[in-house]
Every structure is written in structure tokens, then in C-alpha cells.
Chain A
Amino acid sequence: VSESQEFRRLVDRFLSGVSHDLRTPLAVISGYAELLERRDDERLRREAPRRIREAVDRLASALDAILMASALDSGSVVPDPVPVDLGTAIAAVARDAEEGEAAHPILCERAGEEWPVVCADPDLVAQVLRSLIANACAYSPPGRRVTIRAGVEGDRAVVSISDEGAGMSGEELERAFERFTRGEEAAAGGVPGSGLGLYVARRLVELQGGALWAQSEPGAGSTFRFSLPLSAP
């Protein structure tokens, strides 16, 4: 495959993904709005507002991911690093995720006596954590635990997010960080999501001097790890 063919394939997948992520929730919003306007149906009146709200949330998340991916590509995301206590950051994101994704208990653990403190942009760290937790929840059946663990390795903090889901094959793992790639199981299970989350998360970590990688095998769950430089004591 030539370079220009590969480029066209990536652009095509990007446009197709953007179109899918925006038009699908729009179809749900406009569809229920039209039915509400034209039909007098008690069940519809009860169900439609919730469906519309969920679709608006999806649309907002899709827009955020697309805008952040574009901002990263154009080099306009500039981190503002300060000391960030990972215990506080992880607890806040885990609490929000449990409120939103009640189907998954989230366990937060630290490897050492204290939570590591990293030198990073707190908003970007929160976005990476949100993305990885959402990914773990999306790719595992309801009720299965998601474990977040933080520790120190050399001059870096390493955070791992593990799920008990379907896992990924080697090929899926390689492609997981490309734009608009989703695991087969999630797609088949109707997991909403763009496939931009992991791409954005990896770029945000790298922008702050860290790395993001994953280990997984089909049927045995996945673990995503990221490292960030420790804050000077």
C-alpha cells in the first residue's frame, strides 16, 4: 500500500467517523422531536426527553473529542504543568464516573505509602483519566470492576486502569490508538463512542513528557498504563 493510499484511507476513516459520531445522535434528537410534535403518545412523552438528553450528551462528547484531536494535531494544546496529587485527581474522576456509570464499581489503589505527585496539567490529567475509565467501562460487562492503581517507577509515576472485559487481540491492540478504531466486541455490543478517546489520551500524555501503552488478550481484560514525570520534591 503506497503512502498516499494509506493517507486517503486514514482521511476517509476520519471523515466517516466524524460523520457517524455527529449524525447518529442528531438522528436520535431530531427523530424524537418530530415524533413528540406529531404524535400524542403517553409512552413517547415519558421516554423521549431521556433519549434526547442522552443523545445531546453523546453529541457534546463527540464534539469535544473531535475538537481536542484537531487542537492536538495543530499543536495548539499547551499544557500548564503544576504539582498534581494523583490520589485527589483519581478520586475525583472515579467519583464522577461511578455516578455516571453506576454499572461498574471502581476501585482506587496506591502501590506505595503515599499517592504520587506528578508535574502535569491537572485538566489534561483529568481528561486522560476520564477517557481511560470510560474506555474500561465501555469494554466490560455491567457489574465488573474497574481498578485504578498508581505507583512510582524510577522518576515517573505510573497509573494503570484495568478492566475485566473482553480484552483485545494483538491486532486490535495495535490499532486501538489510531483515530476512530473501536474494539469488535464494543461495536457489536452497541457501545456508543467515537474511537477517538484513546488517540487523544495518548497524545495528551505524550505532550506532558509521559507515555501511554496497553496490555491485553482476548477474554482476559485489558490494562492501560500511563506514566508522567514526578514533581520535584
Chain B
Amino acid sequence: MSACRVLIVDDDPAVRALLATTLPPERYEIAQAADGREALELARKRAPSLVLLDWRIPRLSGAEVLAELKRTLPAVPVIVLTAEIQSRHRHEARRLGADLFLTKPFSPLELLEAIERLLPGGEAPACE
């Protein structure tokens, strides 16, 4: 079984480190981006199996990145993570095709379960 490629997009290095630690290295290969442009560039180069996307990022917003990802890689699940509490952000993310919307603080282990549900192969994801 090959590793699943997860693209982590967050401008906060501490959150990126937490997300990277959450994903077991024997099952996940991780790429990290600190802003929207870097996220789209890495998504083009690395063809991720799943994207974890912060909503408030510099150089293209989370919404712009989500819209572009869903246009160019429609089959790739995107989980939006955000510190925003206003429901309009959740509604916008859903409208743009987010597969899940989680508010910080979140449970890393519940996030991991959600990732495994969304990847092809379910709880034992088999990524190409």
C-alpha cells in the first residue's frame, strides 16, 4: 500500500507541525504550504490525495484556494480548518465544495478519522 499524500496549508508553523505530527508517517507523505499561492503550486506539482486548508491565509484566501482546487482537482477531498466562528464562512466553504469544515481547536484524532473516511479505501486508505 503506497502512502497517501496530504497537503497541509496553514500560515501558522505551530499548527502545521501539529497536523504533521497527527498523521502517522508510515501511512502519510506530507507537503506543507504557508500561503495560498504556494498551496496551489504544490497541489499542481504533488497531486495530493487530500488537502487540509486553513481559511485565513495570506496570498490568496482559503476560499480562493478551495475554488481553484475544486476546479482543477475535483476528486481531491478538502478539509477546511479555521478559527473563524461566523457561520457565513462555513456556508461559503460548503458552497465551494469543502468536504468538511472544522473549527479550531479541533480533535487531532477525530480529524485523522475524518481523513481516513474521505480517502479512497476508507479506513485503510489505499492511495496511488
Contact = CB atoms under 8 A, between A and B. Distances in A.
Interface residues of B, number: 26
A19 B11 CA distance: 15
Contact of B22 (A19, A22, A35): A35
A184 interface: yes
B9 to A, nearest CB: 12
A23 interface: yes
Contacts of A54: 14
Contacts of B86: 12, 15-16
A30 B35 CA distance: 24
Contacts of A95: none
A34 B110 CA distance: 10
A192 B21 contact: no
Given A24-B12, A31-B107, 13 more contacts: A15-B86, A16-B56, A16-B86, A23-B103, A23-B105, A27-B15, A28-B14, A28-B15, A28-B18, A35-B21, A187-B11, A188-B35, A190-B16
A142 interface: no
Nearest to B58: A187
Interface of B: 11-18, 21-22, 34-35, 56, 58-59, 83-86, 103-109
A15 B56 CA distance: 13
Given A20-B83, A55-B14, A26 B21 contact: no
A193 to B, nearest CB: 11
A116 interface: no
A25 B59 contact: no
A19 B85 contact: yes
B17 to A, nearest CB: 7
Contacts of B14: 24-25, 28, 51, 54-55, 58, 192
Nearest to A29: B105
A38 interface: yes
Given A27-B15, A28-B15, A51-B17, A34 B107 contact: yes
Contacts of B56: 16, 20
Q: Interface size bucket, A side? A: 20 to 34
User: How would you classify the secondary structure of chain A's contact residues: helix, strand, loop or mixed?
Assistant: helix
Given A19-B84, A19-B85, A20-B56, A30 B11 contact: no
Nearest to B57: A187
Contacts of A188: 11, 34-35, 58-59
A35 to B, nearest CB: 6
14 contacts: A20-B83, A20-B84, A27-B18, A27-B83, A27-B105, A29-B105, A35-B109, A44-B21, A51-B14, A184-B59, A187-B35, A187-B58, A188-B11, A192-B12
